[in-house]
Amino acid sequence: MNKTRALTLAALLVWAVAGQVLSRHYLDMLNFAAFLAVGGLGVGLLLGQCGVVNLAQAAFYGIGAYASAYCTTALGWPILAGVATGLLCSAALAAAVGLPVLRLGGFFLALATLAAGSIAGVLFFEWDWLTGGTLGIAGIPKLSLFGFALDTPQRYYYFVWPLTLLLLWLADNLVKGRPGLAMRAMRDAAPAAEVLGVDMHRLKTVMFVLSAMLGSLAGSLFAHYVSFVSVQSFTVERSIVFLLAPVVAGARSVYGVVLGALFVALAPELLSSLGDFHQVLFGLALVLVVTLMPGGLVGALVPVWRRAAVSQEGAR
């Protein structure tokens, strides 16, 4: 058995055992990390593969959450219909926003997506007839799978993480295929990509729509897990958290977003025992990761892994 397969099996074993031995509190944290990984995957695909900074992910996260909440509580629709409504609304809005905005570049593009996210946050607050405003929407039904209610953190844990890994696998296949090659060409040598016939604006728009749909799905998963949503969950700060997950991990690594999501979700909790000073320590940890590990956590681990593999081969 090679080392990669052994490490994969060990990780799966740890994941399976964790669901049995961890407390409800830590299972909650891991479930929130999964939502962060799904939404962060969309941001990471744009940033790592296309070189586009998306600071509007919280808007699509909110659309997915509110669509699921409103459709199931006010309209009485099935859960899947609510999730699908969120996906379609997010895709339509992303296309409408992306077509003009994605013609910008650099800081201007980042500021444009930030503005879009800020506008969405205001609308979530003002449209209280739809979102409930500061009061939010309660009584959102729990997910069920083949009649089996996912009404505990443990049950949801064994559902949401396999779904997250499936999405990561699909994204990895996309990146390794011809679309991924076109994205990397656009990111690294835009003039050459244009000469070769890559429609960069269309490709950016398609990936922006895909990113929005991943954010919407994360929002729906969140809503059906906590059974309550309000405007406090969909601020611009949430978009920054979605951006942090791929940046900390290494934006060009698809699977690395899991490491980034776990770090961003769990590090503040683990440091909280130190009192109010833990926020300063978390900020310092982020600064150290960004400055000392330009390639992120994955970029720092890959050379270690390769050296270990070479040493193993030499020992043989």
CB 142 within 8 A of CB 227: yes
Residue extents of the structural domains in the chain: 28-235
CB 245 within 8 A of CB 38: no
**Alpha carbons 260 and 242: distance in angstroms, whole number:** 10
Q: What is the pLDDT of residues 228-258, one digit of tens each?
A: 999 999 999 999 999 999 999 888 889 989 9
Strand 148-149 and strand 144-145: pairing? antiparallel
pLDDT score recorded for residue 310? 53
High-pLDDT (> 70) share of the chain, %: 93
N-terminal to C-terminal alpha carbon distance within the chain: 14
pLDDT score recorded for residue 304? 59
| Of residues 134 and 157, more confidently modeled | 157
Q: For the whole model, what pTM was predicted? A: 0.92
Q: What is the pLDDT of residues 74-86, one digit of tens each?
A: 999 999 999 999 9
